Structures are given as structure tokens and as C-alpha cells.
Amino acid sequence: MTKAELVDVMSKEAAITKTAAASALDAYVGAVAKELKKGGKVSLVGFGTFSVSKRKARDGRNPKTGDTIKIPAKKVVKFKPGKELADKVS
């Protein structure tokens, strides 16, 4: 599903305009990103939890040449689905 398709579904389900749905989605994504950048968590009961995890630096291989390369440490976003979401998908 693309962002445009999601905005379309949101506007129909909430009986609002597509502009309002797009603004709400942008505000949500911005708020989640801001909280994760601070190192916090965003939990939506029944849906899931977004969090930040630190990945250590490690050695890797260039698949083309076989040379060993250094992969730097970085922060990654994790998502753990909630029970209700997991039950709906399975």
C-alpha cells in the first residue's frame, strides 16, 4: 500500500477530506520520528511499539570482490507488533 492509497482509505474510514487525512498522517509520522530521534518509544496499545536499537559495528564482505569491509555502527528503528495486530494478521 502506498501513502496515497493509505490517505484514501483514511479519508473514507474517518469521513474526512483527503487533505485532512494527509495532514493527519504527516503529523503522525513526524511525531513518531521526533520521539524516536530523542531515543524514546511510541506505543499504540493493540497495534505495536516503535523503538530505536543500536547496531554494533561489524565486518562484512563485498559480494562482488570478496573483500572484507567495515560496516559502521548505527541506530535502527524496530517495530514490535501488538497482540491484536498479530492476531488479525495470522
Provide the whole-model pTM: 0.78
Residues 22 and 47 reside in one and the same domain? no
List 42's β-bridge partners, or say none: 50
Closest CA to 85 of 53, 43, 55: 43
Query: Which residue range forms the structural domain that includes residue 59?
Result: 40-90
Say how many domains are in the chain: 2
**pLDDT, tens digit, for every residue of 24-70?**
999 999 999 999 999 999 999 999 999 999 999 999 999 999 999 99
43-46 long-range contacts, CB within 8 A, separation 24+:
44/82, 45/82, 46/82, 46/83, 46/84, 46/85
- pLDDT of amino acid 3: 96
Residues 34 and 77 reside in one and the same domain? no
Closest CA to 50 of 77, 31, 14, 21: 77
